[in-house]
Amino acid sequence: MRNFFAFLSGGLFGAGLLVAGMVDSAKVQGWLDIFGDWDPTLAFVMGGAVGVMFFVWIFASKREKSYLGSPMPGPFPRLVDRNLVLGSLLFGAGWGLAGLCPGPAMGSLSFNGWEGWLFIIAMGVGMAMAPRFKGWLSTFDRSTLEAPPCENIPEEERALARNSRAPAR
Amino acid sequence: MQQDWIWGLIGGLMIGAGAGVFLLINGRIMGASGIIGGLIDGSGRDTVSERIAFLGGLVAVPPLLVPLYRNVDTHVSHTIWVLVLAGLLVGAGTRIANGCTSGHGVCGISRFSLRGIVATAFYLLGGALSLVLFRHILGVI
């Protein structure tokens, strides 16, 4: 059952992306090209999707479990950190460059030629390399090493981790 | 072209419905990059079949609707370095930021998540700067 509804959800998502024109990379780039020939269509796509989900969240907040009995997602984390900001900037740069983000890239895979596949493969490699990038980002910021509460890690090991990072600064 | 915004809105409502089904029935947040990324780095080990089913629908359903249109032109780039660099940036960026347009944008903004709103502001900024650099300054796209 879970798989059936996951398939249905993915299908609705993909069909919506196609209908909205988000599989058209030129349209997406038109939306991001605010200093050029700007195309506001995507504001309607985002508005429609966010509008539906606004009511879904109100409804969801009254439930403890989903209709199939699994726990609902907890309250959203409030932490806004370097990874969120820098990761989003990198993602946006790639989104603008090719006009593809993960959803539409998958949705258009069957009719997007070798180019679509090449993008997806590169995206998979980027995802696999993300932890390494995160490590590099943290070498610029000692506070991210101190941030997580790590009661279970002995003080010696924490000091060791701090010192091993120090030369990189 | 006049009707673009109507189709955009209809498509948006369908995307919202897809995200609503995933949340209310499966109890999960519909984020494309998280669903794919969980399969790649193994963090989604417990929900592999659900992830594959979602991606199956996402990949298999749009081509069924393509015949309804006279032509669907994706205007995808044919330049290898553009596709590779963009793919790497999108893959790494979404995993570092823990979400993309669907997760942070559609599912995050709609519950006024600060992370979702900040992420959306910065990926739109990144996208706009990318167009300035690659289209208006370098002229490569």
Matching residue, tokens 């504001």 = A43
Q: Which residues of B touch A113 (CB under 8 A)?
A: 76
Q: Predicted confidence band at A152 (pLDDT cuts at 50, 70, 90)? A: low
pLDDT at A135: 81
Using CA coordinates, name the residue in chain B closest to A65.
B27
Average pLDDT over residues A28-57: 95
> By the 8 A CB rule, do A72 and A66 touch?
yes
- Work out the pLDDT band at A155, boundaries 50, 70, 90: low
> Chain A residue closest to B110 (CA)?
A54
Q: Rounded to whole angstroms, how far apart are CA atoms A21 and A17?
A: 6
Please tell me what DSSP assigns to residue B141. Answer: -
Continuous segment of H or E residues that includes residue B91? helix B80-97
Task: Say yes or no for a CB contact (<8 Å) between B26 and A14.
Answer: no
B41 near A CB under 8 A: yes
Q: What is the pLDDT of residues A66-116, one digit of tens each?
A: 999 999 998 888 889 999 999 999 999 999 999 999 999 999 999 999 999
pLDDT grade for A161, boundaries at 50, 70 and 90: low
Distance CA A92, CA A81 (A): 17
Residue of B nearest to A9 (CA): B18
From first CA to last CA, the distance across chain A in angstroms is: 51
What pLDDT is attached to residue A79?
85
B103 touches chain A (CB under 8 A): no
Give the CA distances from residue A62 to residues A68, A69, B19, B113, in Å, rounded to whole numbers and listed in that order.
15, 14, 17, 18
CA distance between the termini of chain B: 22
Q: Which residues in chain A are closer than 8 Å to B67, comparing Cβ atoms?
A: none
> Exposed/middle/buried for A110, CB within 10 Å: 0-12, 13-18, 19+?
middle
Give me the numbers of helices (H) and strands (E) for chain B, helices first please.
7, 0
Q: pTM of this prediction?
A: 0.88
Query: B87: nearest CA in chain A?
Result: A123
Write out the two tokens for A153.
């890690």
d(CA A29, CA A34): 9
Given a contact cutoff of 8 angstroms between Cβ atoms, the answer to whether B115 and A115 are in contact is no
> B48 — contact with chain A (CB < 8 Å)?
no
pLDDT attached to residue A163: 57
Q: If you ran DSSP here, which 8-state letter would residue B99 be given?
A: -
Do the Cβ atoms of A96 and B24 come within 8 Å? no
- Name the residue range of residue B66's domain: 4-137
Set of chain A residues whose Cβ sits within 8 Å of the Cβ of B76? 25, 98-100, 108, 112-113, 115-116, 119
d(CA B2, CA B23): 33
Q: What pLDDT sits at residue A133?
A: 87
pLDDT of residue A169: 38
Q: What is the DSSP string of A22-48?
A: TT-HHHHHHHH-TTSS--THHHHHHHH
Q: What is the pLDDT of residue B70?
A: 78
The tally of domains found in chain B comes to 1
A168, pLDDT greater than 50? no
What pLDDT was estimated at residue A134? 85
What does pLDDT average to in each consecutive run of 10 residues of chain B (141 residues)?
86 98 97 96 93 98 92 92 98 96 96 95 97 95 88
Q: Which of A1, A4, A18, A38 to mutate to test the interface with B (most CBs of B within 10 A)?
A: A18
pLDDT at residue A77, rounded to an integer:
81
Residue B30 to residue A9, Cβ atoms within 8 A: yes
